[in-house]
Chain A
Amino acid sequence: MTKNIMIVGVGGQGSLLASKLLGHLLLSEGYDVKVSEVHGMSQRGGSVVTYVRFGEKVYSPVIDRGQADFIVSFEKLEAARYLEYLKEDGRIVVNTQEIDPMPVITGAMQYPENLVEKMEALGAKVDAMDCLSLAEQAGSAKAVNIVLMGRLSRYFDEIPLEKWQQAIQECVPAKFLELNQKAFLLGRG
Chain B
Amino acid sequence: MKRLMLGNQAFARGLYEAGCSFVSSYPGTPSTEVTEEAAKYDEIYCEWAPNEKVAMEAAFGASLARKRSFCGMKHVGLNVAADPLFTCSYTGVNAGMIICVADDPGMHSSQNEQDSRHYAVAAKVPMLEPADSAEACEFVKKAYEISEEFDTPVIIKMCTRVAHSQSVVEERERILPEPRPYEKNIAKYVMMPGNAIRRHPFVEERTRKLAAYAETSDLNRVEMGDPRIGIITSSTSYQYVKEVFGDSACILKLGMIHPLPEKLILDFAEKVDKLVIVEELDPVIETHCRKLGLKVTGKDVLPLEGEFSQNLIAEKLGVELPASRKLEETLPGRPPVMCAGCPHRGLFYTLAKNKCTVLGDIGCYTLGAVAPLNAMEMTLCMGASISAIHGFNKALGEESEGRTVAVIGDSTFMHSGMTGLANIAYNQSNSTVIILDNSITGMTGHQQNPTTGYNIKGDPAGKIDLEALCRAMGFDRVRVVDPYDLDQCDKVLREELEAKAPSVIISRRPCALLKYVKHEKPLKVDCEKCVGCKSCMRLGCPAISVKDGKAVIDTTLCVGCGVCRQLCRFGALQSQ
Chain A positions near chain B (C-beta within 8 angstroms): 10-12, 23-24, 27, 32-47, 58-62, 64-67, 77-78, 80-81, 83-88, 99-112, 115, 118-119, 122-124, 141
Contacts and interface: CB of A to CB of B under 8 A. Distances in A.
Contacts of B324: 65-66, 84-86
Interface string B217-246: 000000000000000000010011011000
16 contacts: A23-B4, A37-B6, A40-B443, A41-B367, A44-B336, A44-B339, A46-B336, A61-B236, A62-B310, A65-B322, A66-B311, A99-B554, A101-B333, A105-B542, A106-B371, A107-B537
B329 interface: yes
A44 B364 contact: yes
A40 B243 contact: no
B472 interface: no
Given A36-B165, A105-B540, A106-B371, A78 B334 contact: yes
A70 to B, nearest CB: 15
B336 A45 contact: yes
Contacts of B168: 27, 32-33
For B132, B242, B542, the residue with the greatest tally of chain A CB atoms inside 10 Å of its CB is B542
Contacts of A78: 334
B310 A40 contact: no
Interface in B246-273: none
Contact of A103 (B326, B332, B364, B534): B332
Interface in B371-423: 371-372
Range of interface residues on B (Cβ < 8 Å): 35 or more
Contacts of B372: 106
B443 A47 contact: no
Contacts of B333: 47, 101, 103
B321 A65 contact: yes
B225 to A, nearest CB: 14
Contacts of A107: 534, 537, 546
A59 B239 contact: yes
A59 B161 CA distance: 12
A106 B538 CA distance: 8
B164 interface: yes
Interface string B161-202: 100111110000000000000000000000000000000000
A101 B327 contact: no
A12 B321 CA distance: 33
Given A27-B2, A33-B166, A33-B167, A41 B327 contact: no
Contact of B243 (A10, A59, A65, A100): A59
Contacts of A42: 108-109, 336
Given A64-B310, A77-B334, A39 B164 contact: yes
A137 to B, nearest CB: 15
Contact of A60 (B30, B309, B323, B537): B309
B444 interface: yes
B369 interface: no
A10 B332 CA distance: 13
B515 interface: no
Interface string B122-158: 0000000000100000000000000000000000000
Contact of A104 (B321, B326, B332, B540): B332
Contacts of B33: 39
B530 to A, nearest CB: 16
Contacts of B334: 10, 45-47, 77-78, 81, 101-102
A60 B243 contact: yes
A176 to B, nearest CB: 15
A115 B326 CA distance: 12
A119 to B, nearest CB: 7
Contacts of A67: 310-311, 322
B335 interface: yes
B370 interface: yes
Closest 9 CB pairs of A and B: A40-B109, A66-B322, A40-B29, A46-B336, A66-B324, A61-B165, A101-B334, A64-B311, A84-B326
Contacts of A77: 331-332, 334
B23 interface: no
B338 interface: yes
A37 B309 contact: no
A159 to B, nearest CB: 17
Interface string B1-45: 011101000000000000000000000011011000000000000
B427 interface: no
Contacts of A102: 334-335, 337, 370-371, 540, 542
B161 A44 contact: no
B462 interface: no
B112 to A, nearest CB: 14
Interface string B521-554: 0000000000000100100101011100000001
A100 B237 CA distance: 36
B23 to A, nearest CB: 19
A32 B166 CA distance: 11
Contacts of A65: 311, 321-322, 324
Interface in B302-325: 309-312, 321-325
A38 B164 contact: yes
A130 to B, nearest CB: 14
Contacts of B4: 23-24, 27, 33, 35
B571 interface: no
For A84, A101, A119, the residue with the greatest tally of chain B CB atoms inside 10 Å of its CB is A101
Given A59-B243, A84-B324, A109-B332, A44 B367 contact: yes
A61 B162 CA distance: 8
A66 B329 CA distance: 19
Contact of B309 (A62, A87, A100, A123): A62
Interface in B469-522: none
A23 B161 CA distance: 16
Nearest to A44: B336
B556 interface: yes
A123 B309 CA distance: 26
B546 A84 contact: no
A41 B29 contact: yes
A65 B309 CA distance: 10
Contacts of B30: 39-40
Contact of A34 (B165, B311, B322): B165
Nearest to B330: A109
Interface in B428-475: 443-445
A77 B444 CA distance: 27
Contacts of B108: 38-42
Given A35-B4, A106-B371, A112 B165 contact: no
Contacts of A84: 324-326
Contact of B331 (A66, A80, A122): A80
